[in-house]
Amino acid sequence: MAETFAPPRRIDWVGISFAVVLTLVIIFPLIVVGTWAFTNVWRYPAIIPQEFGLRFWSQTLARPDVWSAITTSISLACVVTLLSAIICLPAAFAFARLEFPGRSLLFFSFLAGQAFPKFGLLVAIAGIFLGLNLIGTFWGVVLIQLVGTLLFMIWIPVAAFQGVDRRMEEAARDVGASPLRVFWSITLPQAGPTIAAAVLLTFVNTFYETEGAWLIGAPGIRTMPVLMISFINNQPVIQYGAVLSVILWIPSFFALLFARRVISGGSFARGFGA
Amino acid sequence: MAVLDIKGISKHFGAGVLAVDNLELTVGDGELVCLLGPSGSGKSTLLRMVGGFETPSGGSITIDGEEVIHLPPERRPTGMVFQSHALWTHMNVYKNIAFGLKLRRRPADEIKRRVDAVMELVGLAGYGERQTHQLSGGQQQRVALARSLVLEPKILLLDEPFASLDQHLRERLREEVRDIQQRLGITTLFVTHGQDEALSMADRIVVLRDGKVEQVAAPDVLYREPATPFVAGFIGTMNLIEGTVSNGTFSRAGFSSPLPVGDGPVTFAVRPEALVIAPAAGAGAAKIHRVTDYGTHAIVDLELPDGLRLKSMVPEARHWTTGQAVDLAPRAFSAYRDNALIYRSNAAR
Ligand SMILES: Nc1ncnc2c1ncn2[C@@H]1O[C@H](COP(=O)(O)OP(=O)(O)OP(=O)(O)O)[C@@H](O)[C@H]1O
Ligand SMILES: [Mg+2]
């Protein structure tokens, strides 16, 4: 009888519309692209493909330009992330902890590159690179992508280093650790998970970066996203683009897995522990 | 044997702030000295200079006769316990305590033996594998203490180590720390702004005010013979009455008392337990403003005709009522002029 008096269950229209919109915007395109990648024949007006298969995978993976793009993209992302870490992490530590003249000016100049329309900046840099013979070279693309990583690799680690409790560091000095040892055994593990997130973001962003890679890299250097764009522009067959696109999901997938590990349990921090 | 000797130490922060002002202090071997003073009086700054975390603007600090002022914290024979305990959250309890020994490259079996012994000492036996966030506030502070003790420092420095704990736990840890300190005979400098803590733990108390030493004395001496009105007002409860002396009598509004000092302004100091009240026949010296019963005793708030409030401690509340006129008789008192003690009645000695 109690049910008679219970208020009628409200339908959560807001929640439902959010779910629907999110599904349409994110999941639906993924499903469509994923389906296309494993389709041999799909003609209008069928709702599902007439024939599934891996034909286009074998065709795509048989192409030498695809393989060279995969290697280029991976080595670019690795080199850029590594260089960015080597340059930015010490700089971030300096910004977070040291007082030096021109500190704020320098700090904001790092971020200025992100504040203006990027394409104009890229064109200007391309002009300079032309003079330096860097157009169409691997290291030219490395340089341009490096500039793009500064925001994440400075701003986030600065916050991470500033967030480390100074008393913890002093306590380590107190029991006999040198400043270098304190950095290695206390500061870095404490800031570690946040910095790992920044490195991850940098890797994934670099992997997907197209504007710089295309403007500076063409025609000599072709990354996966650039190749995909040219496939989509030049090929009447959708499947090539779809297959490449699915391949491009792989780094995101690993990034997500890794991020989950870092966030849950803090096992990453302990890995650094003394 | 470890003696801490602080001579003429000062600390400026920027141009304006003089946090510690030309301060002298000697802490004897095995002694526990409390630094007591209001917020901003320079207690932490002094302690941090001993630990090596602040560079003094001038002066000298020696430990067993050896100058340490140019040594970084990691090379000083001092151990510091912070208010916020500052445990390393990415290490478990055992690793927190063992870290200092590892840095000294002690053999593994010695590290294990010493860490186990100190965990036993601070009552943490069996907690080695816990993560720091799995400990209560009191246990965290024990780990911080163990982390310092395991290295057998010559001087132990504690900066309000119990400030974030509840009253009950604070009292228990206070006793434990005092026990451990006496058992190990470790020379200790302890910062607090709680007078209870200082009075119950210290061999000697240093009262600081604006970076200067106001008085150094054993707790009972400090309570009975405060050297300045500031100390008198800071330690325990004290009625401080500003008034004047003429012809050997101190007076202020309705209150007067014989005081054999020269004429002039005087601060008259009398503790509540030494201010005896009696029902007045006429108008009396003061009126009762409020009576608060604490069971074991009662506190009577009094008001002089000019509005000054005084406190008197009486054995029982029931004889007294609000609005009642009373006469005042100070049994033991002292008097200050120009910030210095000029008279102490016999009973106050
Ligand atoms: N890093 C600093 N920069 C500038 N001024 C400081 C600094 N540290 C302390 N001071 C100033 O020095 C004075 C003494 O500070 P200190 O921390 O030693 O006081 P304290 O007695 O420990 O007070 P509390 O009981 O509140 O901890 C204060 O006026 C404080 O503002
Ligand atoms: Mg302090």
Number of domains in chain B: 2
Residue A76 lies in a domain: yes
Q: What is the mean pLDDT of residues A107-113?
A: 72
Residue A255 lies in a domain: no
Q: What is the mean pLDDT of residues A222-238?
A: 77
Q: Verify whether ligand 1 is closer than 6 Å to residue B16 (CB atom).
A: no
The CATH number of the domain holding residue A121 is 1.10.3720.10
The answer to whether residues B279 and B189 belong to one domain is: no
Question: Do the Cβ atoms of B332 and B348 come closer than 8 Å?
Answer: yes
Which carries the bigger pLDDT value, residue A142 or residue A266? Answer: A142
Computed over its alpha carbons, how large is the radius of gyration of chain B? 25
Question: With bands split at pLDDT 50, 70 and 90, how would you rate the model's confidence at A267?
Answer: very low
Question: pLDDT tens-digit profile of A16-47?
Answer: 888 888 878 878 878 887 787 777 777 777 77
Residue A258 lies in a domain: no
Which of B229, B246, B279 finishes a domain?
B229
The CATH number of the domain holding residue B178 is 3.40.50.300
Number of domains in chain A: 1
Question: With bands split at pLDDT 50, 70 and 90, how would you rate the model's confidence at B36?
Answer: very high
Contact A185 B99 (CB under 8 A): yes
Q: How far apart are CA A44 and CA A251, in angstroms?
A: 33
Quick one: which atom of ligand 1 is closest to the CA of B41? 21
Q: How far apart are CA B62 and CA B223, in angstroms?
A: 30
Residues A35-61 as b/e (b if ≥16 CB within 10 A, e otherwise) read: ebbbbeebeeeeeeeeeeeeebbeebe
The answer to whether residues B241 and B222 belong to one domain is: no
Question: Do the Cβ atoms of B59 and B8 come closer than 8 Å?
Answer: yes
For B17, the domain range is: 4-229
A267 touches chain B (CB under 8 A): no
Q: Verify whether ligand 1 is closer than 6 Å to residue B42 (CB atom).
A: yes
- A-B CB pairs within 8 A amount to 72
Which of B198, B229, B260 finishes a domain?
B229
Question: pLDDT tens-digit profile of B101-139?
Answer: 999 999 999 999 999 998 988 888 888 888 888 888 888
Q: What is the mean pLDDT of residues B71-76?
A: 91
The answer to whether residues B264 and B337 belong to one domain is: yes
Q: Verify whether ligand 1 is closer than 6 Å to residue B19 (CB atom).
A: yes
Question: With bands split at pLDDT 50, 70 and 90, how would you rate the model's confidence at B1?
Answer: low
CA B138 to chain A, closest CA, distance in angstroms equals: 18
Say what the alpha-carbon torsion angle B218, B224, B226, B232 is, to the nearest 10 degrees.
Answer: 120
Mean pLDDT, chain A, integer = 78
Question: With bands split at pLDDT 50, 70 and 90, how would you rate the model's confidence at A55?
Answer: confident
Which of B180, B198, B229 finishes a domain?
B229
Residue A232 lies in a domain: yes
Contact B88 A181 (CB under 8 A): no
Least confident of A77-91, A136-150, B4-18: A136-150
The answer to whether residues B220 and B139 belong to one domain is: yes
SS3 B99: helix
Question: Do the Cβ atoms of B3 and B63 come closer than 8 Å?
Answer: yes
- pLDDT for res B283: 80
Element of type H or E holding B328: strand B325-330
Rounded to two decimals, the pTM is: 0.76
For A89, the domain range is: 56-248
Q: What residues in A contact B82, CB-CB < 8 Å?
A: 167, 170-171
Contact A170 B78 (CB under 8 A): no
Residue A7 lies in a domain: no
ipTM: 0.82
Q: How far apart are CA B86 and CA A172, in angstroms?
A: 9
Which pair of tokens denotes residue B283? 């108008």
Question: With bands split at pLDDT 50, 70 and 90, how would you rate the model's confidence at A270?
Answer: very low
The answer to whether residues B201 and B301 belong to one domain is: no
Q: What residues in B contact A160, CB-CB < 8 Å?
A: none
The answer to whether residues B152 and B256 belong to one domain is: no
Q: How far apart are CA B321 and CA A213, in angstroms?
A: 90
- With a cut of 90, say whether residue A226 has pLDDT above it: no
The answer to whether residues B322 and B175 belong to one domain is: no
Quick one: which atom of ligand 1 is closest to the CA of B191? 22
Angle at A57 (CA atoms; ends A52, A58), nearest 5 degrees: 110
- pLDDT for res A273: 38
- Residue with the smallest CA separation from ligand 1 atom 16 is B42
Contact B91 A273 (CB under 8 A): yes
The answer to whether residues B224 and B242 belong to one domain is: no
Taking only residues 104 to 143 of chain A, the set having a beta carbon closer than 8 angstroms to any beta carbon of chain B reads none
3-state helix, strand, coil in chain A (%, to 5): 75, 0, 20
Residue A160 lies in a domain: yes
Residue A30 lies in a domain: no
The CATH number of the domain holding residue B342 is 2.40.50.140
Least confident of A131-135, A193-197, B29-33, B276-280: A131-135
Q: How far apart are CA B130 and CA B108, in angstroms?
A: 20
**Beta bridge partner(s), residue B26:** B5
Q: What is the DSSP string of B188-253?
A: EEEEES-HHHHHHH-SEEEEEETTEEEEEE-HHHHHH--SSHHHHHHSS--EEEEEEEETTEEEET
Residue A118 lies in a domain: yes
Which pair of tokens denotes residue B135? 């400990």
The answer to whether residues B196 and B241 belong to one domain is: no
The answer to whether residues B125 and B144 belong to one domain is: yes
Residues B94-119 as b/e (b if ≥16 CB within 10 A, e otherwise) read: bbbbbbbbbbeeeeeeebeebbbebb
Q: Verify whether ligand 1 is closer than 6 Å to residue B254 (CB atom).
A: no
- pLDDT for res B196: 85
The answer to whether residues B259 and B219 belong to one domain is: no
Q: What is the mean pLDDT of residues B202-218?
A: 91
Q: How far apart are CA B98 and CA B112, in angstroms?
A: 8
Mean pLDDT, chain B, integer = 89
Mutate to test the pocket of ligand 1, among B9, B10, B17 (most ligand atoms within 8 A of CB): B17
The answer to whether residues B99 and B196 belong to one domain is: yes
- With a cut of 60, say whether residue A253 has pLDDT above it: yes
Q: Verify whether ligand 1 is closer than 6 Å to residue B17 (CB atom).
A: yes
